Structure 1
Amino acid sequence: MKEIDKIAFIEIQEGKILSTRSKGKTIYYIPGGKRENGESDKQTLIREVLEELSISIIPSTVAYIGTFSAQSDGEKEGIHVIMTCYKAKYFGDLKANSEIDEIRWLNYKDLEIISEVDKKIFSFLHGKGVLE
């Protein structure tokens, strides 16, 4: 089984989670992405969030939430994405940047428009009582 290693930024406000839709895509994803050679989880998180959302993560506030795995969307069967999730405080104004076409706040009822791994993350957060 092939694995795709990704880092995700979890931001929840008023019971809704920050999600993004990339240009040319129809489903939403929790922001983040793949690490570059030699990057730590924190370095990947900081870089990806700045690239996609135009905000700056405060490194000392980065906190691990969990790691989740599912079949990768758009890939052949057996290719799984491993999503390591972190929350953090940030500064700046959220703005779609780079390949991101839209930023949207979603809740647990939006499972039909998100990726398979995000469904697991949404369910976990809903079970913890932080996602409506």
Structure 2
Amino acid sequence: MANDEAVREKVAWVLVRDHRVLVTRSHGREVFYFPGGMREPGESDSQTLVREIEEELLTAIDAGSMVHVGTFEVPAGHPERGPFRMICYTADHDGPLTPSMEIAETAWFGYEDRHRVSYVDGLVLEALHEAGLLR
């Protein structure tokens, strides 16, 4: 995209277990999303992911284990408020996955659940499926 400064970005955690991926739903929403969030000024991707996952799921991300899965984009003018970029990482964690007060629900989705996630999250599910990680 031409003007990166105008593109909103989210750093997201992709946790796959048994061919299913962890997703969350916020209160008042029907659509599920990958856990994570927007970068605060001056934060790196790893700092953002560690902070956001602690806030949302009360677990500690091992920043040293982070591996970039991919960067997925919603184009300008898309109905889901593009332009938007989601930078996805896998990472190990320490502790149980306990939803915080801001999370209404967690779930483990397979490829067949892609209609229950946002457009950009659907792109990630597609990529995971193509890589043989989701059924």
When normalised by structure 2's length, the TM-score is: 0.90
SS at match of 1:79: coil
Deviations 1:19-59 (A, max 9, x none): 00001000100111000010000000000001001110112
Q: 1:119 aligns with which of 99, 117, 122?
A: 122
- Structure 1 stretches of 5 or more lacking a match? none
Instruction: Report the Cα offset of residue 3 of structure 1.
Output: 2.0
Aligned residue for 1:83?
86
User: Aligned partners of 1:106, 1:7: CA distance in 2, in Å?
Assistant: 19
Name the structure where strand makes up a greater proportion of residues.
1
Query: Using the alignment, how far apart are the partners of 2:81 and 2:114 within structure 1?
Result: 22
TM alignment of 1:89-100, pairs within 5 A: 89-100=92-103
**1:61 pairs with one of 50, 62, 65:** 65
Deviation of residue 77 (structure 1)? Answer: 6.5
1:3-14, aligned counterparts within 5 Å? 3-14=7-18
- TM-score between both structures, scaled by the size of structure 1: 0.92
Number of residue equivalences: 130
Q: Which amino acid aligns with 2:53?
A: V
1:70 paired with 2:74, answer: yes
Contact 2:21 2:134 in 1 (8 A): yes
Match of 2:42 in 1: 38
Where in structure 1 do 4 or more consecutive aligned residues deviate above 2 Å?
Answer: 75-80
Which residue identity lines up with residue 85 of structure 2 in the other structure?
I
Instruction: State whether residues 5 and 34 of structure 1, in contact with CA within 8 Å, keep that contact through their aligned partners in structure 2.
Output: yes
Q: 1:61 to 1:128 in 2, by over 3 A?
A: same
- Equivalents in 2 of 1:70, 1:54: separation in Å? 29
